[in-house]
Structure 1
Amino acid sequence: MSARRRSIDTVFVANRGEIALRVVRACKEMGIRSVVGYSVPDADTAAVRAADTAVRIGPADGRRSYLYPPALIEAALRSGAQAVHPGYGFLAEDPEFAEICAQNGLIFVGPEPAVMAMLGDKVLARRMMSEIGVPVLPGTAEPVAGDRAVLDEAARIGLPLIIKAAAGGGGRGMQVVTDRDALLPGYRTARVSAREYFGDDRVYLERYWEQVRHVEVQVLADGHGTVLHLGERDCSVQRRHQKLIEETPGPGLPPSVAERLAEYAVRGARAAGYTGAGTFEFLVAGDEIAFIEANCRIQVEHPVTEVATGVDLVREQLLVAAGERLSFGQADVRPRGTAIECRVNAEDPERGFVPSGGRLDEFAPPGGPFVRVDTHGYPGATVTPDYDSLLAKVIVWGPDRDQALNRMERALGEFRIAGAGVRTTIPLLLDVLRDPRFRAGACTTSYLDGRDVVGASPN
């Protein structure tokens, strides 16, 4: 059945930072009025400045602002918006929030709540993908509860294994267990983390693959039966299971593996009835593939795909939300060259990536050919410890990987960030870019584990 076309002339952006600014810019280009909801410390941010209208939604505490549906809905309705774009993080993958939007006559820019609920439950998503013939890691078919069940299932699956939140994602709270004595403590820690991060303490067990790559596939789908993929992104360079560097195509990834990844992602999106932008994520070891999770939202690293394909993913999200067809077909997707993104976080790698904050006395992003910087930073802005530490994303393109890497090294070297107490990941990123293992495309998800990192002095 074709999707019903709906008029959208005003979008309420239920997020902050660079993704809020990214959505505002897309709206401007489409002739759509943008309204940004902001918390008290975000009153003078770049997104607020750029939006057509801004509405205060609450205090710094996210539970009373960006994570508080009543405030968001009231602000969206008061602003005259027809649609809510949730960005990523906060309530972007919350099916209850999507349902509340629908109940109030607001279009949620994302998949249907039931689809979000199913794919957001990692156990259900694993089961669905397995049923349609997509390989998954050995693990539990249901959330596991109780010490005895954990011990029995671990004996069946084998060590090492990983304990994950059933309702979570983004690597938060995961526990890798390599020793049987650490199993129950890891289980208890994972449950506490799952409750803290996601309000749901259910966890499941999965076999842990060592020395693997993390590769995701970008999908787009509309309400008229079209499901497309836009290639893969390698996200293997991570700290604490959080991505630092992403690139497309996956370096050294055999074409046959890339084709299978894309086919599996499209198959999964079709089976789930997915609409909008999303990713299906996999582990890759040689020519072995295993699905791990789906993300029902735009990804932090979406610019990598945009730069390589020329497709504006946020624009397509808004078209799909309005009931329109995607503006292109699979044959039109022709990625070129290599695109790389480095996340510049206000963190101190020398101290275990602890977030840093303060006033930005100097903030001068790089420029030059084929360099894109998505950021909400500017001279005089304050980096607050209240929210995520992402300060900027530097994205470059090159006709081949070597040229792209050289361009990224040059761009990061140009980036000037200074302020009392503000440290960034730029020195570490430059160190990685110069590492022969990374240059050879040989990094796995354990690349930074136990690795000495450079000092992160202000740039």
Structure 2
Amino acid sequence: MSIRIKKLLVANRGEIACRVMSTCQRLDIKTVAVYSDADAKALHVEMADEAVHIGPAQASESYLKADKIIAACKLTGADAVHPGYGFLSENPKFAEACEENGIIFVGPSAASMRAMALKGAAKHLMEEAGVPVVPGYHGDDQSLETLSAEAERIGFPVLIKAVAGGGGKGMRKVFNAKELPSAIEGAKREGENSFGNGTLLIEKYIQKPRHIELQVFGDADGMAVHLHERDCSLQRRHQKVVEEAPAPGMSAEMRRAMGEAAVKAAEAIGYQGAGTVEFIVDVENGLDGAPFYFMEMNTRLQVEHPVTELITGQDLVEWQIGVAEGKPLPLSQDEIDVLTDGHAVEVRLYAEDPYNDFLPSIGKVGLFDPFADAGATGRIDAGVRAGDEVSIHYDPMIAKLIAWGEDRTQAIDALRNLVRETPVTGLRTNRDFLLKCLSEQGFIDGDVHTGFIEEHKDVLLKKPEPTAEDYALAAFAIVAARQARAQGDDPWKILDAFRLNLPASEQLWFDGTDGDVLTVHLREDGSKLSATVESNDFEAEIIGFVGDVLTFTMGGKRERMFAEVDAAHVTLIKGDATLTLARHARDGGGDEDADGPGTILSPMPGKILDVKVADGDMVEKGQPLLIMEAMKMEQTITAPRDGKVTGLGLKAGDQVTGGAVLLTIADTE
């Protein structure tokens, strides 16, 4: 007997909350968002029909508070909860609390979660069900003597893992007996600190593994199916970077064997809803016929589920809702097998710095449009947009970019194009790193494994360095942005480098890669620009700067690139490289012996309080020129060099935008 979900609360945030809500909108199911202090203006809150505040920014005081989620359901009359992934999605106590309060939990039963929660117990269960597992030890005796003896029996190298672990925490590779005691101690300590459980298991360490997982589904009638595999082998520190479906190079026989094993795993625990059975495959001698072993089962929807959706044409969130309503699965295994078509690839776009050990980057998103046209074969799943903050409190994922093709080559090409056409500025991202991964020949050939990124790190993690041409382009972007900001036709109100009967000229300063100040000598004649950078000459003609796209001709070739200009930086996104060039400090950087740049820009939006000089005045370095108010603080703008004031058209009370030209200090020669 099935029921009808009328209002669903999404107990999550970010892109997965938006993803679930999009399906609910199509199914005419009302949605409720929950949000913390940090997410009051978040995209998922705006998408929902209703929203409930559940606490401070810390997840432990908001999104992880089951009682607050239950209270939000009662307040809004939500009859169901979708947990997304992460947070409470695999918490059996939360699933039980929903059931006790008459709320439908869109996910598996608490019993299924518990069966797969601890890796050691899950492996025992899989062994009994006839699912192959990695040779190892999963016993209760946790003494150093027993663990050491078991490691010797299994044979080095081995992998020490916390039974309640995840994301690489509580995990150690051990290559000989000498390393074992400290590895056991460290893994146990990390397991206790991260998961409250220091129990360990030991497995044979597969030296060239592929991570292949099967999407499974089960319903209340006992039917279980798989929707084929996903290859998630490109990882860094056990975190997935690129996912694709189907797995490249897998034979039909191996696919059938892994599919049958995954369904057995689901049936062994009477599984209902969406789940993922993860296998590790030893590809030391190639994929065809390679041994595969059960690793773990995730009792929720996975981040990478869109690639499965694209090759099957199915909405897995709709399947989840249907199972939760008591409906049978919409397709049989035979129907799924016939239905599957093409290839799909996904990358995770993160606010992180690949060139600094992938440290998360926080701040405000500049350019980024999650609603941009992804093309007929592309898809963007995002939970942020331009102007949103990526904070320290949550996962720094910005979006998932996914593309489909008739074959793997087409899918990779389509995804590369989608990543190139998805600019993000304002903080560091892994965009360029993703493009390098998708372009690396080994990946294109399908020679993927979990050590791929480490193996190719010299290429994948090589930071791009700006060239003289890049600095010229940055200068051209500054001029184009200035022209785009100029309002009205009154030439006396346009703050530029105009000179009577001569082409306008000026100097722009940037921080060079060697720590020195790099000067760009710029000449402007209408839309035609020329620049000299370290004896290199460049010429361009600006066609337009609309939105974030700068269109120009250079060397007889029409080009376009994404650009963002502010008072402190110019960010250029061209091809596979993102370059953020720092504009040199307008006050000379505090160096009393160095002349600063002559063109002075407003450091941020603000109001002019006082003008201390007049146009044509001779001034000395350090002399006060203007006093402005910005963010409720007064700031004195001083002369960065000796010279003559030109282009000053401001008076007290004028409002200025960030990056606007205030005046220029011209040479006196």
Q: Tell me which interval the TM-score lies in, with the shorter structure as reference length.
A: over 0.9
State which of 133, 136, 141 in structure 1 corresponds to 2:130: 133
Q: List per-residue Cα deviations over 1:64-117 (Å, max 9, x = no partner).
A: 111111212111221211111110011111112111222222221111101110
How big is the shift at 1:143?
Answer: 4.7
Mapped partners of 2:361, 2:448: distance in 1: 27
In 2: Cα distance, 1:78 partner to 1:174 partner: 42
What residue in structure 1 maps to residue 105 of structure 2?
108
CA separation of 1:7 and 1:18: change in aligned 2, threshold 3 A: same
- Separation in structure 2 between the aligned mates of residue 389 and residue 173 of structure 1, nearest angstrom: 22
Indicate whether 1:293 and 2:296 are aligned. Answer: yes
Give the structure 1 partner of residue 139 of structure 2: 142
SS in 1 for 2:348: strand
Give the alignment of 1:133-282 within 5 angstroms. 133-143=130-140, 145-282=142-279
Instruction: Report the TM-score, using the length of structure 2 for normalisation.
Output: 0.66
Match of 2:332 in 1: 329
The one of 294, 313, 318 equivalent to 1:315 is 318
Q: State yes or no: 1:17 paired with 2:22.
A: no
One-letter code aligned to 2:4: S
- Give SS of 2:88's match: coil
Q: 1:414 to 1:454 in 2, by over 3 A?
A: farther
| Pair 1:439-2:444 in alignment | yes
Percent identity between matched residues is 43
Shift in CA distance, 255/171, structure 1 to aligned 2, threshold 3 Å: farther
Structure 1 residues 301, 458: CA separation in 2 closer, same or farther (over 3 Å shift)? farther
Q: Does 1:37 align with 2:34?
A: yes
Q: For residue 208 of structure 1, report the CA deviation from its aligned partner.
A: 0.8
| Alpha-carbon distance, 1:144 to partner | 5.1
Q: Does 1:387 align with 2:394?
A: yes
Q: Tell whether the 8 Å contact from 2:152 to 2:177 is kept in structure 1 after alignment.
A: no
Moved more, 259-268 or 124-133: 124-133
What is the rounded CA distance, in whole Å, between the counterparts of 1:310 and 1:143 in structure 2? 45
In structure 2, how many angstroms separate the alpha carbons of the residues matched to 1:154 and 1:311? 44
> Which digits, 9 at most, give the CA deviation of each residue in 1:171-212, with x for residues without a partner?
333222223232222222222322333232222111110111
Conserved? CA contact 2:168–2:238, under 8 Å: yes
Inter-partner Cα distance in structure 1 for 2:14 and 2:38: 12
Describe the shift of the 1:115–1:141 C-alpha distance in structure 2 as closer, same or farther (beyond 3 A). same
SS across alignment from 1:261:
helix
Post-superposition offset of 1:446 = 0.9
CA distance in 1, matches of 2:126, 2:133: 7
The residue that corresponds to 1:407 in the other structure is: 414
Q: What TM-score, normalized by structure 1, do the two folds share? A: 0.96
The whole-number CA distance in structure 2 between the counterparts of 1:63 and 1:249 is 37
**Which residue of the partner structure matches residue 70 of structure 1?**
67
Q: CA deviation at 1:150?
A: 2.1
**Structure 1 stretch displaced more, 194-203 or 262-271:** 194-203
Residue 189 to residue 77, structure 1, CA distance change in 2 (3 Å): farther
**Superposed counterparts of 1:411-426, under 5 Å:** 411-419=418-426, 422-426=427-431
Determine if contact 1:120/1:167 at 8 Å carries over to the other structure: yes
In terms of mean alpha carbon deviation, does 49-58 or 67-76 score higher? Answer: 67-76
Contact 1:92 1:297 in 2 (8 A): yes
Structure 2 runs not aligned, ≥5 long:
465-577, 581-669
The unaligned stretches of length 5 or more in structure 1 are none
Is 1:376 equivalent to 2:419 in the alignment? no
Higher fraction of helix: 1
What SS does structure 2 have at the residue aligned with 1:156? helix
In 1, the alpha carbon distance for the partners of 2:418 and 2:431 equals: 10
Deviation digits for residues 207-251 of structure 1, max 9, x if unmatched?
Answer: 110111110000111101221110100000001101010001101
Contact map agreement 1:427 1:455 (CA 8 A) in 2:
no
Which residue matches 2:404?
397
TM superposition shift of 1:346: 0.9
Q: Aligned letter for 1:344?
A: L
Whether 1:352 and 2:349 are equivalent positions in the alignment is: no
Kindly indicate whether the alpha-carbon contact (under 8 Å) linking 1:144 and 1:203 is maintained by their aligned counterparts in 2: no
**AA aligned opposite 2:9:** F
345, 352, 366: which one pairs with 1:361?
366
Task: Report the Cα distance in structure 2 between the residues aligned to 1:80 and 1:259, rounded to whole angstroms.
Answer: 44
Q: Which has the higher strand share?
A: 2
Q: Is this contact kept in 1: 2:241–2:348, CA < 8 A?
A: yes
How many residues are aligned here?
454
Of 49, 56, 71, the residue aligned with 2:46 is: 49
Superposition misfits of 4+ residues, deviation over 6 angstroms? none
